[in-house]
Amino acid sequence: MNDTPVALVTGAAGGVGGAVASRFAAGGWRVIGTDRPGTRADADAWIPADLLDVDQIREMVAQAAATFGRLDCVVNCAGLWTEGPAEDTSEDEWDRVVGVNLKALYFVTSAAIPHLIEASGSVVNISSDAGLQGNAGAAVYSASKGGVSNLTRALALELAPRGVRVNAVCPGDVESPMLLGQARDFGGEDPEGYLRRLLDGYAQKGRARFIRPEEVAEVVWFLAQPEAAAITGANWSIDFGLSAGI
């Protein structure tokens, strides 16, 4: 069997997911990407799946493991943003955001566990600064990412005796299509002003900028490496200090 390690990246058509897939490929890994049907990004193999459908998730993971005969790392990048007053939240909005951000991540990981045990592999989840602290006006998103952060801890403890590590990366605002869509959908008639207001919340003030997808990918890459063998159950902040109490 080819001993080149294999990474499965969800949300691989997105900004962070695409950067993660590229980083693993540059590091010599084989990469399997997945995202919504009708999407595509650079990867050694591509398996579309609707992550709101658990049966499709399980089939996708089974296909991914069979493609190269192994699975060494799962990187859960797929995610959705929403915001607005809690009293205006619809059940459909809750189900969609929590379904992708938390439920899908859980079932992707669950389906991958037997393969990761065989490889002594790892899971890296993309959480958020909102997974470490509440964001006013974004209760649904914060609930989903808070779940990701604590799920990461719970699975790390559960899987440690079987040689599998589980960590999360918690970015702040990432310069990506998701952020631009966020500004478009929730910025009213002034999406540029929406983005400026986000930057105004950073301690860097006039020097503030958004995080680059490649910066997130570099942390994900590190956490998947043997050199990070002592790190499990961690939620790594990459947010210019937003979650440091600023």
Name the CA radius of gyration of the chain, rounded: 17
pLDDT number for residue 1:
60
Decide: residue 122, CB within 10 A, 0-12 exposed, 13-18 middle, 19+ buried: buried
Q: How confident is the model at residue 151 (pLDDT cuts 50, 70, 90)?
A: very high
- Residue % of the chain over a pLDDT of 90: 96
Tally Cβ neighbours within 10 Å of residue 207: 9
User: Does residue 218 have a pLDDT over 80?
Assistant: yes
Decide: residue 73, CB within 10 A, 0-12 exposed, 13-18 middle, 19+ buried: buried
pLDDT number for residue 246:
53
Kindly report, residue by residue over 36-63, the tens digit of the pLDDT: 999 988 899 999 999 999 999 999 999 9
Q: Which residues are within 8 A (CB) of 9 and not within 5 positions of it... i.e. 6 or more apart?
A: 17, 20, 21, 24, 31, 32, 33, 34, 43, 75, 77
pLDDT number for residue 245:
77
Instruction: Give CATH for domain 6-173+212-235.
Output: 3.40.50.720
Averaged over 204-217, what is the pLDDT? 96
Q: For all residues of the chain together, what is the average pLDDT? A: 96
Catalytic residues: 141
- Model-level pTM greater than 0.85? yes
Averaged over 15-42, what is the pLDDT? 96
* Domain coordinates in residue numbering, the chain: 6-173+212-235, 175-210
Q: Are strands 122-126 and 165-171 parallel, antiparallel or unpaired?
A: parallel
pLDDT number for residue 2:
83
- Residue % of the chain over a pLDDT of 70: 99
Distance CA 177, CA 45 (A): 23
Averaged over 115-122, what is the pLDDT? 98
DSSP assigned state of 211:
B
